[in-house]
Structure 1
């Protein structure tokens, strides 16, 4: 723990106590938890502030469950300029819905319903009224939003930044105590190296089980990168050189993958959920003019989420650029078939 973190630690103790009291009020029934009838609710969330791969894991669950059940996703819609309950449509732009809900809506092309609402209880009630046949609801980032009941609580923790090594805000990055993991039915260690061995898994199990219940299921997921996709949705080859543009929490894995495929001649890094301004667009276009002809053929490579924002907010500029995005998925690294069967059987037994 660094010097600044030590100075902030007393504030962390106060914040941790506040969250402890809040959780005890929920446990004792003093704060009401709302159950949505005839709806199996799965929460995908985390203890830590920052990127743990919630959207890729949500998409992984959609791939597993949507062939079997009628599904919806409910998100807060982080970064949107609208408020209240809204059904996400593929023709929307990211300023209306937030980038991640729009990405999910477009990716699954009407096979599931996607909604945004700050009030998860109100959102779940309204979507169930609109579509009574929906059987499974995925809540995005609602681990601390305990006002809505859930039948399955999935906790995510990044492999390189595990919750059991962290402390509560502001000296650390946790939203609540490590013991909040006791509410998890499953823990996914995300963004793991694909070469992760059995010994490393066993070591993590020991560390995780200090904070969870004995029957909590632990799984590991890792990145799988697909073929580059162009602006019109076509697959495209990796360029000789690339300018990388990212507005995600942690682009490290993506950059390491790209450096195996192309020569990265620049990286414009923006904060997670960054809304690209006119100044940003001008800077990108200036970079393109300066580099043109100096590095042979090159393309801009960005993330799927950033492509969503760029195309939504700056379509006229983006369509002139040599730009593509790198699709990325989280995939299970252990007991994939067993996990999928157990998850499906659990839902069938309760709906």
Structure 2
């Protein structure tokens, strides 16, 4: 089966993995026995998460749900705001920065300004604060971003993501592999989505992956792949978009990423004409003066008449309010947005399942 070569299995760390797994299993058992408290809420709470550390595509799948639900319901997205410099509950607004709320919540707030976006490491407190908003602002559906292990909240519906190039079935617990918890945690999922699939997968490959997960009867499996939109300026007028195909053979693109798994991002840009130079940073990377100098040195060495600096959408959220970005970059600094597309023509089936869950939740008025 496919695996991500950027992080190999390290069996030398097995003793530490055993101790880590013991602690996680004990914690999960305490929740299962009811000895640690968990709370349900009177609105549909959809959890989007994974068993591994990063790189499965939580943000684009959360955005997919926003597009699906926003026309009908008031939506709130609640995240912990990874790597933000603040604490506690913060409600995002048009003045929020990645420093205050984190790059992914900022990305979603900028893309969907009418959606309520909040951050709080304590998801129970965050949900309570959201439900205490004035009636016209109070969310009718809450999306929990990256909260599969946050068991103090019992979601009404759980979506578990696993990347095609590193399926949880073939991974190991930290620090040997990338699993945050044992594979048995999959039983809490209502849906499993295999993300970042290759577009040329054969029907038998889908079947093998699905059968190999050993899911129970009620759990559905879907497969998604990444699709890319037009290049959008990080600064200035978003109407001044361009397509990768507008880049000519004698142009040069400096492609910068600070995400967990940038392989498909680089591969997409390399499909088009133009020379590509890549600079890779760790996930959720804060761009320092040294980083800016490194990128500038690369740009200065390029002799092409036209040169472009292309970043991921998540990196753009960190760069847009970064005062270290030189003025001369701003006219040629673009980000490449992504969307997800369901394989096997299963998008409508997924949509119907989510909408039916919300309708049934309110019809049954389960927790009121």
With the length of structure 1 as denominator, give the TM-score of the two structures.
0.94
TM-superposed CA distance for 1:5, in Å, is: 2.4
- Say if 2:147 is the partner of 1:137: no
| Contact 2:319-2:325 within 8 A present in 1 as well | no
> How far apart in 1 are the matches of 2:178 and 2:232?
34
TM-superposed CA distance for 1:3, in Å, is: 11
Q: 1:206 to 1:4 in 2, by over 3 A?
A: closer
> How far apart in 1 are the matches of 2:134 and 2:8?
53
- Which string of whole-angstrom CA distances, capped at 9 and with x for unpartnered residues, describes residues 178-225 of structure 1? 11101110000000112222111100111112xx32210100110000
- Say if 2:255 is the partner of 1:283: no
| Contact 1:156-1:190 within 8 A present in 2 as well | yes
TM-superposed CA distance for 1:271, in Å, is: 0.6
Q: 1:13 to 1:318 in 2, by over 3 A?
A: farther
> How far apart in 1 are the matches of 2:8 and 2:360?
52
* Partner of residue 51, structure 1: 55
| Contact 1:310-1:318 within 8 A present in 2 as well | no
Q: 1:245 to 1:14 in 2, by over 3 A?
A: same
| Contact 2:252-2:277 within 8 A present in 1 as well | no
* Partner of residue 116, structure 1: 119
Poorly superposed stretches of 4+, deviation over 6 Å: 1-4
* Partner of residue 235, structure 1: 241
TM-superposed CA distance for 1:144, in Å, is: 0.7
- Which string of whole-angstrom CA distances, capped at 9 and with x for unpartnered residues, describes residues 230-250 of structure 1? 232121243332010111111
Give the one of 276, 279, 295 matched to 1:265: 276
> How far apart in 1 are the matches of 2:359 and 2:56?
28
TM-superposed CA distance for 1:299, in Å, is: 0.5
- In structure 1, runs of 5+ residues without a counterpart are none
TM-superposed CA distance for 1:285, in Å, is: 2.0
| Contact 2:288-2:324 within 8 A present in 1 as well | no
* Partner of residue 96, structure 1: 100
Give the one of 307, 311, 320 matched to 1:311: 320
> How far apart in 1 are the matches of 2:328 and 2:48?
34
> How far apart in 1 are the matches of 2:293 and 2:314?
20
Classify the secondary structure of the residue corresponding to 1:236. coil
- Which string of whole-angstrom CA distances, capped at 9 and with x for unpartnered residues, describes residues 277-319 of structure 1? 111112222222222xx12312011111111111111376256
| Contact 1:89-1:102 within 8 A present in 2 as well | no
* Partner of residue 333, structure 1: 343
Classify the secondary structure of the residue corresponding to 2:301. helix
> How far apart in 1 are the matches of 2:179 and 2:271?
33
| Contact 1:43-1:140 within 8 A present in 2 as well | yes
Q: 1:318 to 1:153 in 2, by over 3 A?
A: farther
> How far apart in 2 are the matches of 1:104 and 1:54?
12
- Say if 2:168 is the partner of 1:157: no
* Partner of residue 206, structure 1: 211
| Contact 1:241-1:262 within 8 A present in 2 as well | no
Give the number of aligned pairs: 345
* Partner of residue 218, structure 2: 215
> How far apart in 1 are the matches of 2:8 and 2:84?
36
- Which string of whole-angstrom CA distances, capped at 9 and with x for unpartnered residues, describes residues 117-168 of structure 1? 1111101101110144311100011111100110001100000100000111
| Contact 1:189-1:219 within 8 A present in 2 as well | yes
Q: 1:19 to 1:262 in 2, by over 3 A?
A: same
| Contact 1:71-1:135 within 8 A present in 2 as well | yes
RMSD of Structure 2 on Structure 1 (CA): 1.8
Q: 1:167 to 1:318 in 2, by over 3 A?
A: farther
Classify the secondary structure of the residue corresponding to 2:224. strand
Q: Which segment drifts farther, 339-348 or 94-103?
A: 339-348
Q: Which segment drifts farther, 88-97 or 242-251?
A: 88-97
> How far apart in 2 are the matches of 1:4 and 1:333?
29
* Partner of residue 31, structure 2: 26
| Contact 1:76-1:116 within 8 A present in 2 as well | yes
> How far apart in 2 are the matches of 1:304 and 1:15?
33
